[in-house]
C-alpha cells in the first residue's frame, strides 16, 4: 500500500534551533506517557545536555522514552552521557553501530538520517534539524540554516506507528512509509481529532520497499507546477529524472528557483552542485546561493499550496542510500509562510548565479563536463544497487545495571532519576531564555 493524504491537521513551520528546540523540549516536558525520538546527530553540547535533562525529567515522571540514534552520526557520544539516560530507564537503540578501524568510521553508507519526534501520539516533529549547538545562531559563522514542522491531528497516527516500529516497540505494518490507518483513527484505535485544515502525507525512504518514495513525490509535484517552484536544499546533486522535471517545468514557463549552498560546510558540496548550473540555467532555472552561513534545509514549495519539509537532501546519499522521512503538505497558509521565509533568504542573503560568457575552449569543457555528470546521474540509481545491501543492525544499549551486574549498580528509581535530572549541571529552560 502507498501513503494516503490525511485531512484535518495543523502544521507549524519551525525555523532553526531557536524555534525548534524550545518547541520539542516543551513537548517533552508536557509528555504524559511516551516520547519517541529519532535523530542522525546528537552532540554532548548545550543542546544535547538540555535534551538529556528533559528526557531525564520525563523518565522521572514515568514516561516511556525510546531514543533511536544513528551509529555514524552519534559516534562521538561518550558512555557517561548515555549511561545517565539508560540508567534512568531510557531505551536507546543505535542504528548500524560499528567500531572504528584504525580510527576510521566504516559505517558511512545507508545511514539513519531521519529526524522525528512523537510525544504521546498527539504531537509530532519532522524535519532536518539535529540536536547540536550548530543549529543556533550564537554558534557563529558555521551555524546552520534549517527547518522542521510541528504537527498535530490525524497525521500523527502514521508517524507514531512508524516510529514505534522503527524502535522495535510494535511490529511494522505492511507498509513502512506511513500509510494512514482507517479514516479518523489513531494508532491504538483512538479517534484522531481534527486539528486544522492541512492535508498531510508522511513519506519515508528505505532500501527495501520504498527506495524512491520521496523522490517520486518531488517529481509528481514538479510535474504539476503551473506557476512557481522553489526548492531550498543543502546537498544538491539529484538524479536524472528530477533534473529533467525541473528543466521541463522551466521550459513551460514555470518560475523555477533553487536555493543552494554558497558557504558550504563541505566544499565538495558546492563543487558538485556547480557542475549542474549551466545545464539547468540553459532551460531557465534560476539559481541562488545562500551566503550568510551553511544551508542545511531540505524544503520546497510548489505554486501556492504544495510544500514539503523533511530530512531528505536531493543527492545520491539521501535519494539512494539513507533512511529518510519527509512530510508533504497541501495548505495555502503553510505554503505562503514557507515561501515568504525562503524569499527573505533570496532577497537579503543570497547571490544569484549569472550566466558568464566563457572562452570557446572553456565553454566546450564546461559543456562536456556537464554532459558527463548528467549521464552519471542518469545511471546512478542502477549502479548503487551493486553496493552491498547489508541489513543494518539495531542495537539496544544496556543500562549500567546490566553492564555492572546486580549489587554493583542498581537501576535508578523515580526519585533517584529526579535527583539525577537536577544534578546534570544544566539550567532548565536555558534555550528558552535566548
Whether the per-residue pLDDT at 425 is higher than 60: the answer is no
Residue 150 pairs in a beta bridge with 12, 125
Q: Residues 192-204: what's their mean pLDDT?
A: 93
Question: Which helix (H) or strand (E) segment is 9 a member of?
Answer: strand 6-15
CB-based contact 234:313 (threshold 8 Å): yes
R_g over Cα of the chain: 22
Q: Where are the domains of the chain?
A: 6-356+385-395
Locate the DSSP E strands across 338-391: 350-352
- Cell, residue 166: 522503527
pLDDT for res 394: 84
Whether the per-residue pLDDT at 382 is higher than 70: the answer is no
- Within 8 A by CB and 6+ apart from 310, the residues are 126, 127, 128, 203, 214, 298, 299, 324, 325, 326, 327
Concatenated DSSP letters for 177-196? T----STTB-GGGPBPPP--
pLDDT tens across 24-55, in order?
Answer: 999 999 999 999 999 999 999 999 999 999 99
**DSSP letter (8 states) at residue 253:** T
Please give the backbone phi and psi of residue 416, each rounded to the nearest 5 degrees, phi first.
Answer: -70, -35
pLDDT tens across 335-357, in order?
Answer: 999 999 999 999 999 999 986 55
pLDDT tens across 60-112, in order?
Answer: 999 999 999 999 899 889 999 999 999 999 999 999 876 666 666 666 667 89
pLDDT tens across 273-325, in order?
Answer: 888 888 899 999 999 999 999 999 999 999 999 999 999 999 888 988 899 99
Q: Residues 404-429: what's their mean pLDDT?
A: 48
Whether the per-residue pLDDT at 183 is higher than 70: the answer is no
**Number of neighbours of residue 250 by Cβ within 10 angstroms:** 21
Question: Is the model more confident about 81 or about 362?
Answer: 81
Query: How many Å apart are CA 87 and CA 412, to the nearest integer?
Result: 6
Q: How far is CA 379 from CA 240, 253, 374, 385, in A?
A: 8, 28, 9, 11
pLDDT for res 110: 77
Query: How many Å apart are CA 177 and CA 165, to the nearest integer?
Result: 11
**Number of neighbours of residue 24 by Cβ within 10 angstroms:** 26
Question: Is the model more confident about 229 or about 392?
Answer: 229
CB-based contact 287:280 (threshold 8 Å): yes
CB-based contact 328:308 (threshold 8 Å): yes
| DSSP reduced 3-state for 101 | strand
pLDDT for res 170: 60
- Within 8 A by CB and 6+ apart from 427, the residues are none
- Cell, residue 1: 500500500
Report whether CATH 3.30.70.260 matches the domain 6-356+385-395: no
Of 77, 79, 85, 109, nearest in space to 96 by CA: 109
pLDDT for res 239: 83
End-to-end C-alpha distance for the chain, whole angstroms: 45
430 confidence band (pLDDT: 50, 70, 90): very low
Question: Which helix (H) or strand (E) segment is 102 a member of?
Answer: none
Whether the per-residue pLDDT at 20 is higher than 70: the answer is yes
CB-based contact 22:432 (threshold 8 Å): yes
pLDDT for res 226: 97
Locate the DSSP E strands across 103-166: 116-119, 123-127, 147-152
Residue 314 pairs in a beta bridge with 236
The residues that are catalytic are 113, 115, 120, 296, 298, 303
Amino acid at each position: 500500500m502507498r501513503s494516503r493524504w490525511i485531512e484535518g491537521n495543523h502544521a507549524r513551520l519551525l525555523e532553526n534551533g531557536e524555534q525548534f528546540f524550545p518547541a520539542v523540549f516543551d513537548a517533552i516536558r508536557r509528555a504524559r506517557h511516551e516520547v519517541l525520538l529519532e535523530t542522525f546527530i546528537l552532540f554532548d553540547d548545550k543542546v544535547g545536555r538540555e535534551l538529556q535533562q528533559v528526557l531525564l525529567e520525563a523518565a522521572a515522571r514515568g514516561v516511556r522514552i525510546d531514543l533511536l540514534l544513528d551509529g555514524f552520526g552519534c559516534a562521538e557520544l561518550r558512555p557517561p552521557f548515555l549511561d545517565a539516560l539508560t540508567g534512568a530507564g531510557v531505551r536507546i537503540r543505535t542504528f548500524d553501530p560499528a567500531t572504528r578501524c584504525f580510527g576510521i568510521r566504516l559505517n558511512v553508507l545507508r545511514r539513519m538520517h531521519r529526524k522525528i519526534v512523537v510525544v504521546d501520539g498527539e504531537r509530532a516533529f519532522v524535519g532536518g534539524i539535529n540536536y547540536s549547538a550548530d543549529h543556533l545562531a550564537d554558534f557563529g559563522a558555521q551555524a546552520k540554516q534549517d527547518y522542521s514542522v510541528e504537527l498535530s491531528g490525524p497525521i500523527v497516527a502514521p508517524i507514531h506507528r512508524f516510529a514505534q516500529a522503527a524502535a522495535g516497540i510494535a511490529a511494522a505494518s505492511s507498509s513502512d512509509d506511513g500509510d494512514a490507518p482507517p479514516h479518523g483513527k489513531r494508532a491504538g484505535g483512538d479517534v484522531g481529532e481534527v486539528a486544522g485544515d492541512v492535508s498531510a502525507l508522511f513519506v519515508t525512504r528505505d532500501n527495501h520497499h520504498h527506495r524512491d518514495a520521496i523522490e517520486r513525490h518531488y517529481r509528481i509535484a514538479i510535474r504539476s507546477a503551473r506557476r512557481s517552484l522553489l526548492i531550498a536544499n543543502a546537498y544538491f546533486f539529484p538524479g536524472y529524472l528530477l533534473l529533467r522535471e525541473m528543466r521541463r517545468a522551466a521550459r513551460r514557463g514555470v518560475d523555477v528557483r533553487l536555493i543552494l549552498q554558497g558557504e558550504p560546510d563541505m566544499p565538495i558540496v558546492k563543487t558538485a552542485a556547480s557542475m549542474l548550473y549551466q545545464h539547468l540555467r540553459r532551460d531557465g532555472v534560476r539559481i541562488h546561493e545562500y551566503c550568510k552561513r551553511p544551508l542545511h534545509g531540505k524544503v520546497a514549495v510548489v505554486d501556492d499550496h504544495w510544500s514539503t519539509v523533511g530530512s531528505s537532501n536531493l543527492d545520491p546519499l539521501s535519494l539512494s542510500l539513507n533512511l529518510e522521512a519527509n512530510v508533504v503538505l497541501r495548505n495555502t497558509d503553510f505554503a505562503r509562510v514557507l515561501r515568504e521565509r525562503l524569499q527573505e533568504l533570496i532577497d537579503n542573503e543570497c547571490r544569484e548565479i549569472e550566466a558568464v560568457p566563457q572562452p570557446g575552449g572553456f565553454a566546450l569543457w564546461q559543456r562536456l563536463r556537464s554532459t558527463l555528470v548528467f549521464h552519471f546521474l542518469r545511471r546512478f540509481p542502477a549502479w548503487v544497487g551493486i553496493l552491498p545491501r547489508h541489513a543494518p543492525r539495531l542495537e539496544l544499549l544496556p543500562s549500567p545495571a546490566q553492564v555492572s551486574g546486580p549489587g554493583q549498580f542498581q537501576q535508578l528509581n523515580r526519585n533517584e532519576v529526579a535527583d539525577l535530572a537536577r544534578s546534570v549541571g544544566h539550567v532548565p529552560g536555558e534555550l528558552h531564555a535566548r
